[in-house]
Amino acid sequence: MSPIGVFDSGYGGLTVFRDIERRLPQYDYIYLGDNARAPYGPRDFETIYQYTLECVQHLFDMGCPLVILACNTASAKALRSIQQQDLPGMAPGLRVLGVIRPTAEVVGQYTQSREIGVLATRGTVLSESYVIEIAKSFPDIRVYQQACPMWVPLVENNEHNSPGADYFVQKYLDELLRQSPNIDTIVLGCTHYPLLINKMRKYLPDSIQVLSQGEIVAESLADYLHRHPEMETRCSKNGQVQYFTTESAADFEAKAAIFMEKPVKALHLAL
Ligand code: DGL
């Protein structure tokens, strides 16, 4: 078995994995959530890098030739160091990909005004990764960022559909839109935010479109595998999925079922 590894700080990456599995059901996957140490969003660079590297190493040890960092914060703060410093010595031939570049590469297809908003964790916003990556593909686009530190806890505590969530949804959207009246596209640059999309729509004009990453990342992975037959042939294809969590497997199964909209069986991974 050489499954494709999908890593996230916790449950959120399931919003991305859900679309990857739908788009590419033939492959085997291992999803690893580092629930014991989530959330990553408020943590410093070194910590996020160390945690992410450790989990990537576990996925390699479990036989994954390719690992997707489904977590925006890990993609923002750890991906480049892992790709440039660690992979060449530690695991030549193995690959790690993130979610920010694939998203940044397509935003230009959506915006007319060339002004977009990015909603993300504080860690992702401070890294400026979206600003940097979007500028590479679309130098004419202006990017406005807004950190939404209360949104991950709302989703993690299953309060995202509650009336109390409205206050924080409206608050951060107002703060973003106050930065420019010309924003016509908003990128959800955090794995958890798609679960708040119905509430967001209540406070946004219809003229503003909201982009979730799942389908974008899934399409980009399909394209990557097509362009890299040497990697594609290494990935096993039995349509099997295994879930691992660094916290309680029972808790993971209960929460993951909400994200995946189906029952999930999980195993505990000791760090
Ligand atoms: N998965 C993280 C992200 O996409 C959100 C949760 C966390 O802060 O760990 O940024």
Query: What residues does each domain of the chain span?
Result: 4-98+215-268, 101-214
Residue 64 is a catalytic residue? no
Higher pLDDT, 208 or 156: 208
Supply φ then ψ for residue 70, to 5 degrees.
-75, -10
pLDDT for position 91: 83
185 lines ligand 1 (CB under 6 A): no
pLDDT for position 258: 83
Residue 71 is a catalytic residue? yes
How far is 154 from 8, CA to CA, in rounded Å? 18
- The per-residue pLDDT of the chain, averaged, comes to 96
190 lines ligand 1 (CB under 6 A): yes
Q: Is the pTM of this model over 0.75?
A: yes
Average pLDDT over residues 168-185: 98
**Domains 4-98+215-268 and 101-214 equal at CATH topology level:** yes
Question: Which secondary structure element, helix H or strand E, spans residue 224, and what is its range?
Answer: helix 214-227
pLDDT for position 90: 86
CB atoms within 10 A of CB 107: 22
In words, the CATH class of domain 4-98+215-268 is alpha beta
Q: What pLDDT, in 10s, does the model give residues 112-128?
A: 999 999 999 999 999 99
pLDDT for position 222: 98
Average pLDDT over residues 124-138: 97
- Give the distance, in angstroms, between the CA of residue 263 and the centroid of all CA atoms in the same chain: 21
Checking if the pLDDT of 32 tops 90, the result is yes
Checking if the pLDDT of 96 tops 90, the result is yes
CB atoms within 10 A of CB 164: 9
Atom of ligand 1 nearest to the CA of 76: 10
Name the pLDDT band for 92 (thresholds 50, 70, 90).
Answer: confident
Name the pLDDT band for 28 (thresholds 50, 70, 90).
Answer: very high
Task: Specify the DSSP class assigned to residue 181.
Answer: T
Task: Report how far ligand 1's centroid is from the alpha carbon of 259 (Å).
Answer: 14
Average pLDDT over residues 150-168: 94
User: CA nearest 115: which of 89, 144, 157, 95?
Assistant: 144
Q: What percent of the chain has pLDDT over 70?
A: 100
Which residue of the set 55, 64, 148, 190 is catalytic?
190
12 lines ligand 1 (CB under 6 A): yes
pLDDT for position 184: 98
CB 194 within 8 A of CB 214: yes
Average pLDDT over residues 129-154: 97
Q: What pLDDT, in 10s, does the model give residues 203-253?
A: 999 999 999 999 999 999 999 999 999 999 999 999 999 999 999 999 999
Checking if the pLDDT of 54 tops 90, the result is yes
pLDDT for position 158: 87
pLDDT for position 112: 98
Burial per residue of 246-266, b for 16 or more beta-carbon CB atoms within 10 angstroms, e otherwise: bbebeebbebbeebbeeebeb
Residue among 71, 79, 119 to mutate when testing ligand 1 (max atoms within 8 A of CB): 71
Give the residue, by CA position, lying nearest to ligand 1 atom 6. Answer: 39
pLDDT for position 140: 98
Checking if the pLDDT of 1 tops 90, the result is no
Name the pLDDT band for 196 (thresholds 50, 70, 90).
Answer: very high
CATH number corresponding to 101-214: 3.40.50.1860
Task: Report how far ligand 1's centroid is from the alpha carbon of 230 (Å).
Answer: 31
Give the residue, by CA position, lying nearest to ligand 1 atom 2. Answer: 71
Task: Report how far ligand 1's centroid is from the alpha carbon of 74 (Å).
Answer: 8
User: CA nearest 94: which of 58, 133, 47?
Assistant: 58
CB 40 within 8 A of CB 223: no
Q: Which parts of 110-174 are beta strand (E)?
A: 115-120, 142-147
pLDDT for position 261: 87
